[in-house]
Amino acid sequence: MKCKSCGREIEANSVFCNWCGEKQIKERKKKDEIKVPSPRKLASGNWRIYLDAEKQSITEPTRDKCIAKAKAIRAGFIEQKKLAPKLTVKEAIQKMMDGKSEIISPATYRGYDIVLRHGFQQYMNTDISAIIDWQSVVNEESKHVSAKTVFNRWNVISAAMRYVGITPPKVELPKFNKGGLPYLDYEQIQAFIPLIRGKTCELAALLALHSLRLSELVDLKRKDIITSKDGSATINVSGARVLDFNNKLVEKDTNKTYASKRQIPVVIPRLLEILPDVKPDEYIVQLTPQAIGKQINKICKANNLPLVSVHGLRRSFASLGYHLGWPELRTMSFGGWTNMGTVHDHYLRESQKDIDQHSEKMRDFYKNIQP
């Protein structure tokens, strides 16, 4: 055959001319050839390639060097992936739990363990990298548990994926109404207060109506209720206790947010009347978190009130603040929230009675306009 460039005779099927060096035929791509994105020339004159799977950016002075380095990195990544041991979903979550045990809160660790034992059970022993259609897995889980539970369980699964080096796929999760959680409006609070009088959950319920989280109120000690000479008192919220892996209350190293540490005035006088006679360093709420919630909801159910538990009473505090005309900033600082958006999305609720009252005022305004 003859060279396409110089016309000299060369051996048949030659890739290059041995005289001028010109390529004669296109090289067939090897079956396992490493593919990388085309490099992009930067304003500086350098060339750059970004490898999505490896989450790595390569910048080199020439195009060829950039491609070569990207291929070398990708080849190593692929080989590492081939050699990586197979991990089941269960093993991936356990690996994450073991690796993060010293840096996550006991409550978070307990949440991981709950998913490990109850979530996505038919897939727990499946290789986590072998499940292609996670959307179908999520859809199936949604048939058996609430949308909020699916949301929480998927968060743990996707976190475990990231922990073991797998990019979680995008899945459509069932919608749930974050703002639709129960609370007591101002008239229901007036009915609720006498119903809990003398009950073992009364102290915890009154603390929750002062905006305290469940973890905060079970951590309160007698010394945290500070009474002044004029009879006023404040609650010093400075810590939290949560249930650990063994279902026992343990002290958290840090509060939920930096605003969680706060001093709030006692606004329900009855609270001071029922404080237990204990030592300064002893906890004032003796009930377990589960018992507090059960007792509050039992009272609510018996009296046709929303089943609010402790979190709903905290939400009721914010709603009452709105009804009484409190500035939003005051509600936020009192409740230990750092973001007003969170207060609006999850806590601050305008009661139907307030809506009706304001609507009537606007109707009266328009009625008085002369035609």
Report the DSSP pairing between strands 241-243 and 249-251.
antiparallel
Kindly tell me if the per-residue pLDDT of 206 is higher than 50: yes
- How far apart CA 297 and CA 275 sit, in angstroms, is 22
Nearest 5°: CA angle at 326, between 322 and 327? 110
What is this structure's pTM? 0.61
Kindly tell me if the per-residue pLDDT of 30 is higher than 70: no
User: How distant, in Å, are the alpha carbons of 88, 121, 204, 285 from that of 126?
Assistant: 5, 10, 44, 44
- How far apart CA 133 and CA 126 sit, in angstroms, is 13
Kindly tell me if the per-residue pLDDT of 207 is higher than 90: yes
Model pLDDT, residue 215: 92
Phi first, then psi, for residue 292 (nearest 5°) are -60, -50
DSSP string over 168-224: PPP-PPPP--GGG-----HHHHHHHHHHHTTSTTHHHHHHHTTT--HHHHTT-BGGG
37-82 pLDDT tens trace: 999 988 888 898 888 776 678 888 899 988 888 888 887 765 555 5
Model pLDDT, residue 319: 86
For the chain, what percent of residues have pLDDT higher than 70?
A: 84
Residue 365: pLDDT band with limits 50, 70, 90? low
- In b/e form, how buried is each residue of 128-143, taking b as 16+ CB within 10 angstroms? bbebeebeebbeebbe
For the residues 1-25, what does the mean pLDDT come to?
Answer: 73
Non-local CB neighbours of 360 within 8 Å, separated by 6+ positions: none
Kindly tell me if the per-residue pLDDT of 28 is higher than 50: no
Dihedral, 66, 69, 73, 79 alpha carbons, nearest 10: 130
Give the domains, in start order, of the chain with CATH numbers.
1-32 (no CATH), 40-83 (no CATH), 89-176 (1.10.150), 186-357 (1.10.443.10)
276-333 pLDDT tens trace: 999 999 999 999 999 999 999 999 999 999 999 999 999 899 888 888 888 888 888 8
Phi first, then psi, for residue 49 (nearest 5°) are -130, 135
CA atoms within 13 A on the CB side of 158: 17
232-245 pLDDT tens trace: 899 999 888 888 87
